[in-house]
Amino acid sequence: MQIRFLGHSAFLLQSGEHRLLIDPFIQGNPGCPVTLAEALAWEVSAVLISHAHGDHWGDALEFGRAGVPIIGTAEIGGYAQKHGAHSAVAMNIGGTYRADWGSLTLTPAWHSSSFPDGTYGGMPTGLLIELGGQRLYFAGDTCLFSDMRLIGDRGLDAALLPVGDHFTMGPEEAARCLELLRPRVAVPMHYGTFPPLTGDPQVFARAGQALGVDVRVLRPGDRTEL
């Protein structure tokens, strides 16, 4: 699996012919290295949404209206369908969606969720993704919670964790998550995009490496392989 960081919490995952786009905050994302037109040309297999806040929902409807499945909670799927994304998939926490590219299971996340227009976005989630025979956990905007140990019990090739503080956990708390999740590789996200997000990814990296985790701090546009 190849992971490409698009800034903030947006990622492109690729394995073979399949591409998955996570939380597609492209327009308005000061770190994003590509334009929306370039991203739409990727022909992604699905857009995966952790929650409805604008810096995660982002440009999802542009992809959905082009026929790409948007996958998220019942509220996210229903909202997408109502606004012209007719291939959207509505599911919920604990459920698993299976496709030719792999699978997505929604996990809990401790945060909030509403669309930019104020519509309730359902419960926020994490994303447990299986792609190309590997398993990746995208934590969304969450704090540390003890049931992360159960997610880690599945065996994780990678974990993508917010470290920016203020709206999510900071780097020290995110490093404690690694003790529960036990991933092979970890990538920090959701830091530095806006002034309140002051968490230092290098603090997270040092703490994670002390636990034996391969922490990779990516700049927007960077790619890494699992």
Return all residues near 159 (Cβ < 8 A) that are at least 6 apart.
136, 137, 139, 177, 178, 181, 183, 185, 186, 187
Residue in 94, 101, 25 with CA at minimum distance from that of residue 69? 101
pLDDT for the residue numbered 165? 98
Residue 139 lies in a domain: yes
> pLDDT confidence of 8, banded at 50, 70, 90?
very high
Residue 225 lies in a domain: no
Residue 22 lies in a domain: yes
Spatial distance between the Cα atoms of 14 and 1, rounded to a whole number of angstroms: 6
| H/E stretch holding 215 | strand 214-215
pLDDT for the residue numbered 51? 98
pLDDT for the residue numbered 29? 98
Spatial distance between the Cα atoms of 216 and 224, rounded to a whole number of angstroms: 8
pLDDT for the residue numbered 7? 98
Structure tokens at 122: 């359902």
pLDDT tens figures, 163-216: 999 999 999 999 999 999 999 999 999 999 999 999 999 999 999 999 999 999
CATH classification of the domain holding 153: 3.60.15.10
Return all residues near 183 (Cβ < 8 A) that are at least 6 apart.
137, 152, 156, 157, 158, 159, 213
Residue 16 lies in a domain: yes
pLDDT for the residue numbered 169? 98
Please give the residue range of the domain that contains residue 70. 2-219
pLDDT for the residue numbered 195? 97
Residue 226 lies in a domain: no
| Cβ 208 vs Cβ 215: under 8 Å | yes
| H/E stretch holding 171 | helix 171-181
Domain count, the chain: 1
> pLDDT confidence of 71, banded at 50, 70, 90?
very high
pLDDT tens figures, 95-122: 999 999 999 999 999 999 999 999 999 9
Residue 41 lies in a domain: yes
Please state, rounded to an integer, the average pLDDT across all residues of the chain: 98
pLDDT for the residue numbered 94? 97
Residue 224 lies in a domain: no
pTM of the model: 0.98
Q: What average pLDDT does range 27-35 have in this prediction?
A: 97
| Cβ 152 vs Cβ 158: under 8 Å | no
pLDDT for the residue numbered 57? 98
